[in-house]
Amino acid sequence: MLSILVFFAGFAVFSAVYGFYFVYLRLNLKKSWGFTVKNDFQPSVSILVPVHNEAENIGGKLENILAVSYPKDKIEVIVADDASDDTTLEKVAAFTKHNSQLNVRVFKQAERSGKAAVLNAVLPISSHQIVIVSDADTYWPQDILEKALPYLSDPTVGAVTGRGLNENKGESWVTKSEDNYLQLASVIRLGESKVHSTIRFEGGFCAYKKDAFEKFDCESGSDDSGTALDVVQNNYRAILVPEVVFYTSFPSNLAGKLKIKARRGNQLIGLWIKCFRLMLKRRLVLPKRIVLPEIALFIFNPLIFLVSLIAAVASIMIWPISFFSLFLVVFLGGLLIFARSLFLELFFDNLLLVYGFFSFILGRRYVAWKKTPNQKAN
C-alpha cells in the first residue's frame, strides 16, 4: 500500500511542478519586453564558427552566411579551428578563393583544447563589439541577423539566442518527440526571457555583446548556456527572440538521441547547481522565480520521477492483479495512444536527467571535442 501512495504522491508533485511553471510562463508570454528595440540597428558583427573535422559542413555553412541579407562590409567571419586533421581548412580556402566579398579569417589551434577554449582564443582577435557563435552544422534563414540584432540595441540586453528547429522532424518517432520537446522548451525560454532572462542558449545562434562577458564558459562544457549565465551575472539580460530560428538535423535513432541528451542534461544540471550555489552566497542575479523552478525541473523532478517509477513497478509486482495495476495499464495505454510522442519524450528526458545528475555528482564532465582521461571525445 505504501508503494501505491508513494507513486501517486510522486506523480502529483511531478505534474504540479511542470504544470504550475508552464502556466506561469504562459501568462508572461504576451508581456512587453520592457526595453526598446530599434529595428534599424545594424552593427558590425564578428561571426565565430568553431570547427573540428567539419569538412562535410563548413563549405555549406560559409555559403549560408554569404546568403544572409545583411551588409557584407559589416560581417567578419572567423573560422575557429580546433586542430582539425581532415580537409576542413582546405574547404575554407576553396570558399574564400571564389567568394572574396565575404571577409573570412581562419584561426588554427595547434592542439585540441575544446570548443570553448578555441572560442576564447579567437575572441581577442575578433574585430567587432558583437560576436555571434554558430555551429557548422546549422543553417540560418536569410533574415536572421535583421531579426535578432535590433534586440541588442538596448543597453540592458547582453545576449540573444534563437529557436533551433529540426529539419527532419517527421523522420521517426524520435525526431517527432524531440520536436514536441522543442516546442515546450521554447515556451519556457520565451517566458523566462519576458520575466528577465533565460540561460538555455543554443549553439546554432548565440549573439553576445563583448562588454557583457569576459570569456566563453569552459567549466561546464556548455559554452552557450554557461556564457549566457555569465552575461546575466554581469547585470545584462539574456533572451530568446522567438522570431529568430535556425535549422539543424537531429538523430533519427534512439542511440543518437540518448547521447546528445545525456551530454546536454549533464551540462545544464551543472549550470543549475552553479546557480543554486550563487543563490546561497547571495550573488545570483538571475531571479529566483526562474532559478527555483528550473532546479526543480532539472534536479528534483527527475529524482521524483525515478522514485515514482520504482514504486509503480514494485506495486505491480506485489499486486499484479489489482485495481491499481489495471488503472496503470489503462493510463499508460491512453498516453501511448493519444500523447505518444510527448509521453516518450518526458519519459526518456527524465531518465536521462537522472543519469546526468549522478554522472555530474560523480565528477563526469562533457566538454565538446576535448578528450580527457575520464571521457571519450564528443
Rounded CA separation 265/222 (Å): 10
- The count of structural domains within the chain is 1
- Does residue 228 sit within a domain? yes
Q: What is the mean pLDDT of the chain?
A: 91
Helix (H, G, I), strand (E, B) or coil at 269: helix
Q: What is the pLDDT of residues 184-230, one digit of tens each?
A: 999 999 999 999 999 999 999 999 999 999 999 987 778 899 999 99
Percentage of the chain lying above the pLDDT 70 cut: 97
- Does residue 117 sit within a domain? yes
Q: What is the pLDDT of residues 285-311, one digit of tens each?
A: 999 999 999 999 999 999 999 999 999
- Does residue 366 sit within a domain? no
DSSP string for 135-168: -TT-B--TTHHHHHGGGGGSTTEEEEEEEEEETT
- H or E segment and range at residue 350: helix 340-361
- In 3-state terms the chain splits into helix, strand, coil percentages (rounded to 5) of 55, 15, 30
Q: Which domain holds residue 223?
A: 33-168+193-248
User: pLDDT-derived band of residue 367, with 50, 70 and 90 as boundaries?
Assistant: low
Report the chain's terminal Cα–Cα distance, integer Å: 45
Output the domain CATH number for residue 100.
3.90.550.10
